[in-house]
């Protein structure tokens, strides 16, 4: 891809071990990756691969698939082979599917020890099989399925309970000298979740998979995830992220990527700097910003485009951006790299900005 606006990370990353989820490195300073999970029946191989292809196109780097039945387990080998991004099998309840997933060539397996009875007895075998295949394990602790012993001890899924559960399960693997592990401690309350990950980050050096579980519909879930990931990543905590939304998974990926870009952990691509509008606005800023965003959707060239409603901050922001418009009196002054190149009527602003963006993209694209 083209070089974007260079990432300027919000904070130094927490030192952690590195694991390999297929070709994607997680932890040990590797770029924070974005993942999602399919919503299809995994046994429907065609539909699952189709959704994985859509996720891949939207920028997803790791995809997780559920595996509740034998038919799903049987589908894993084909899915793992045909997917262009690493596939993680998500296992609850049935340890036999852990072995099936590893043998099917999944890039990693997520286990939820709280949901696997007699998990402790099986760890030795799981560790041996995973090691033989070079398959890392995610220990995925979830508030909704916390180990009964810990629920009794703490009364509810407190940060301490989530962390104790995760570290206990990790210690079982460590007894068998298996450390190819990443950990998540998810909770639907960002305040609990943030505290749990903070404690976990202090207590171990495993890479961490961040997630607010059951975050809700798109709007609420986006905000919860952005707040929680922002709080953690700005302390350097977090190596891979999954935004959970009650919305199509490609939306989760878009949100995840935007969060990383906002925190300077990912180079920025197209960025629209638009003002909120106010009583001084001399054009319809919302409409302009929306039309410019739609018109430049999919643009790969990293551009900062300013859409400003009047001359108060307009020229300043427009000058700082690669491209911009400062509006006044039903007209727009079009800026390119800080210079006014044209003044056009309001009806031509969007079209002109898109034309100028295309010209800039041509100039910056490699020969």
CB nearer to ligand SF4: give 238 or 314: 314
Among 65, 260, 310, 353, binds ligand SF4 (CB under 6 A): 310
CB nearer to ligand SF4: give 149 or 280: 280
Backbone angles phi, psi at 193, to 5 degrees: -60, -45
Among 314, 315, 324, 332, binds ligand SF4 (CB under 6 A): 314
Q: Is 312 in the site for ligand SF4 (CB under 6 A)?
A: yes
Residue in the block written with tokens 């262009």: 84
Q: Is 310 annotated as a binding residue?
A: yes
For residue 357, the minimal CB distance to ligand SF4 (Å) is 20
For residue 307, the minimal CB distance to ligand SF4 (Å) is 9
- Taking CB under 6 A as the binding criterion, the range among 66-74, 142-150, 309-317, 328-336 that sits at the site for ligand SF4 is 309-317
For residue 327, the minimal CB distance to ligand SF4 (Å) is 8
Among 1, 6, 12, 276, binds ligand SF4 (CB under 6 A): 276
The tokens of 263 are what?
């925190």
Q: Is 309 in the site for ligand SF4 (CB under 6 A)?
A: yes
Q: Is 278 in the site for ligand SF4 (CB under 6 A)?
A: yes
For residue 262, the minimal CB distance to ligand SF4 (Å) is 20
Among 8, 280, 337, 359, binds ligand SF4 (CB under 6 A): 280
Q: Is 281 in the site for ligand SF4 (CB under 6 A)?
A: yes
The tokens of 33 are what?
């990756």
User: What is the C-alpha to C-alpha distance for residues 198 and 218, in angstroms, rounded to an integer?
Assistant: 25
Q: For 9, which DSSP code?
A: -
DSSP strand pairing (339-345 vs 331-336):
antiparallel
Contacts of 186 (CB under 8 A, 6+ apart): 140, 141, 142, 143, 193, 211, 212, 213
Kind and range of the H or E element at 229? helix 218-233
Q: Is 313 in the site for ligand SF4 (CB under 6 A)?
A: yes
Q: Is 60 annotated as a binding residue?
A: no
For residue 326, the minimal CB distance to ligand SF4 (Å) is 8
Contact between 26 and 33 under an 8 Å Cβ cutoff? The reply is yes
Q: Is 277 in the site for ligand SF4 (CB under 6 A)?
A: yes
Q: Is 275 in the site for ligand SF4 (CB under 6 A)?
A: yes
CB nearer to ligand SF4: give 86 or 315: 315
- Taking CB under 6 A as the binding criterion, the range among 85-93, 139-147, 176-184, 306-314 that sits at the site for ligand SF4 is 306-314
Angle at which helices 285-295 and 349-364 pack, to 10 degrees? 40
Which pairs with CB-CB distance under 8 Å and at least 24 residues apart come from 24-31?
24/61, 24/62, 24/85, 24/86, 24/107, 26/182, 26/207, 26/209, 26/239, 26/240, 27/182, 27/206, 27/207, 27/208, 27/239, 28/207, 30/239, 31/265, 31/266
> Which residues would be at the binding site for ligand SF4 (CB under 6 A)?
275-278, 280-281, 308-310, 312-314
Residues annotated in a binding site: 275, 278, 310, 317
Residues annotated in a binding site for [4Fe-4S] cluster: 275, 278, 310, 317
């Amino acid at each position: 891809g083209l070089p974007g606006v260079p990432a300027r990370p919000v904070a130094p990353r927490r030192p952690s071990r590195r694991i390999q989820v297929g070709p994607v490195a997680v932890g040990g300073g590797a770029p924070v990756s974005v993942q999602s999970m399919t919503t299809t029946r995994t046994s429907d191989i065609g539909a699952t691969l189709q959704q994985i292809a859509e996720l891949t196109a939207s920028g997803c780097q790791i995809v997780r698939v559920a595996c509740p039945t034998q038919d799903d387990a049987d589908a894993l080998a084909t899915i793992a082979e045909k997917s262009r991004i690493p596939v993680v099998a998500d296992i609850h309840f049935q340890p036999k599917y852990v072995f099936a997933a590893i043998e099917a060539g999944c890039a990693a397996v997520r286990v939820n020890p709280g949901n696997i009875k007699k998990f402790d007895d099986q760890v030795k075998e799981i560790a041996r099989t995973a090691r033989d295949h070079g398959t890392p394990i995610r220990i995925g602790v979830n508030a909704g399925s916390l180990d009964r012993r810990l629920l009794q001890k703490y009364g509810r899924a407190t940060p301490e309970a989530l962390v104790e559960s995760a570290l206990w399960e990790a210690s079982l693997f460590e007894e068998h000298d298996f450390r190819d592990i990443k950990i998540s401690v998810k909770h639907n309350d960002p305040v609990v979740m943030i505290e749990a990950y903070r404690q976990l980050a202090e207590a171990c050096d495993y890479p961490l998979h961040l997630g607010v579980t059951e975050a809700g519909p798109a709007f609420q879930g986006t905000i919860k995830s952005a707040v929680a990931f922002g709080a953690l990543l700005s302390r350097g905590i977090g190596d891979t992220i999954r935004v959970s939304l009650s919305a199509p998974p490609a939306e989760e990926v878009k949100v995840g990527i935007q969060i990383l870009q906002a925190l300077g952990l990912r180079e920025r691509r197209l960025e629209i700097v638009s003002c909120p509008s106010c009583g001084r606005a001399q054009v319809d800023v919302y409409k302009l910003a929306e039309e410019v965003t739609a018109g430049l959707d999919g643009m790969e060239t990293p551009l900062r485009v300013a859409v400003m409603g009047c001359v108060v901050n307009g020229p300043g922001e427009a000058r700082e951006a690669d491209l911009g418009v400062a509006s006044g009196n039903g007209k727009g002054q079009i800026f390119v790299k800080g210079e006014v190149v044209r003044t056009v009527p309001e009806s031509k602003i969007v079209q002109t900005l898109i034309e100028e963006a295309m010209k800039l993209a041509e100039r910056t694209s490699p020969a």
